[in-house]
Structure 1
């Protein structure tokens, strides 16, 4: 079966422009496109998870999402990782070639965060400079790292409280994990 080449930037823009209609959307997109490396930095199946979650098992067919739900899916799926803009820097590195035993140069990425606010926290900060979020969206973005979040690893129970307030928290976590552990690995094979 032939693979069709996808353009992630075009896919992002199509969903963004179709689904996000809030005030500030143009300013946020301008910032992402012109003042960050968001579309080139190494950078998640939220809609499918949401539809699956919201569809009554006994109902015929699949539940259709409302316009507001589609917008939330787009915001969460597209923007939860804006904190990654400007933190991956390409540079020449050295490694020992396992076959020849000789040292060689290669181009790799180094992570340097000029504004180390925290992963979810930084995404929230950067997004809300341009676009208002609902409380549920803010909680989902803040806690999307799940068990990998430093506050959770330190014993904070706030993520559990956020999950009790809205299913968007665990939906985004599940989608992000699917993207990292299934989608991206399948694409690499």
Structure 2
């Protein structure tokens, strides 16, 4: 029971911090997005489906998003990249919006959560990873071109279309490399894994 209370407290504290970060962007439509996020599993959703992947636990999605924010903010400063502070917040916290409501508990016949694959994907809108995130966010407000490019291409070479589009994306948004690396570094080095 204490573990459940600790998790509830962690979710509540994290939710307050993320809501403040989003609200501080002062973006028209941000309150609509915040209201929508509060009605979803965003604040307690996992970031992946398997224990050997990053964030395969409650709160994994927001843990990952905050880690990406921290790393990307550092890289923007380090490399003097032309990304506004609110663009860092929006791209980092919402780049994986496509995962909201998508990972459902994989319960065995016994009712226990599967240890091998605790979550399964149920995707009723298979638009693609970055594309779906952009679609979801766009229901609430308009992304800047930088935000849209960062979110769409954050998977870098793990996206089948990357090889064809990379030269143009890199020219239009040089920060994409730092954002992709922030996403990868967060998932490989900072995000909690259930098994290593």
* Fold-level similarity (TM above 0.5): yes
Contact 2:98/2:136 (CA < 8 Å) preserved in 1? Answer: yes
Q: Name 1:51's counterpart in structure 2.
A: 77
2:106 to 81, 91, 112: 91
Q: Name 1:82's counterpart in structure 2.
A: 97
Give the Å deviation of 1:187.
Answer: 10
Contact 2:23/2:31 (CA < 8 Å) preserved in 1? Answer: no
2:153 to 143, 159, 178: 143
**Worse-superposed segment, 178-187 or 142-151:** 178-187
Give the Å deviation of 1:28.
Answer: 1.0
Q: Deviations over 1:122-150 (max 9, x none)?
A: 00111111111111211111000111113
SS in 2 for 1:89: strand
Q: Tell me how far apart the structure 2 counterparts of residues 113 and 174 of structure 1 sit (CA, whole Å).
A: 26
Give the Å deviation of 1:22.
Answer: 1.2
Contact 1:140/1:170 (CA < 8 Å) preserved in 2? Answer: no
Answering whether residue 138 of structure 2 is matched by residue 128 of structure 1, we say yes
Q: Tell me how far apart the structure 2 counterparts of residues 172 and 105 of structure 1 sit (CA, whole Å).
A: 39
Q: Tell me how far apart the structure 2 counterparts of residues 138 and 51 of structure 1 sit (CA, whole Å).
A: 20
Q: Which structure has the greater CA radius of gyration? A: 1
SS in 1 for 2:140: coil
Q: CA RMSD in A?
A: 2.5
Contact 1:137/1:168 (CA < 8 Å) preserved in 2? Answer: no
Q: Once superposed, which parts of structure 1, at least 4 consecutive aligned residues long, lie more than 2 Å away?
A: 5-11, 185-189
TM-score normalised by length of structure 1:
0.75
Q: Deviations over 1:70-115 (max 9, x none)?
A: 1011111111111100110013137xxxxxxxxx763121112111
Is there any run of 5+ residues in structure 1 with no aligned partner, and where?
Answer: 56-64, 95-103
Alignment size in residue pairs:
160
Q: Name 2:52's counterpart in structure 1.
A: none
TM-score normalised by length of structure 2:
0.72
In structure 2, relative to structure 1, the CA distance for the partners of 1:93 and 1:53 (3 Å cut) is farther
2:179 to 136, 155, 172: 172
Is there any run of 5+ residues in structure 2 with no aligned partner, and where?
Answer: 1-8, 47-60, 62-67
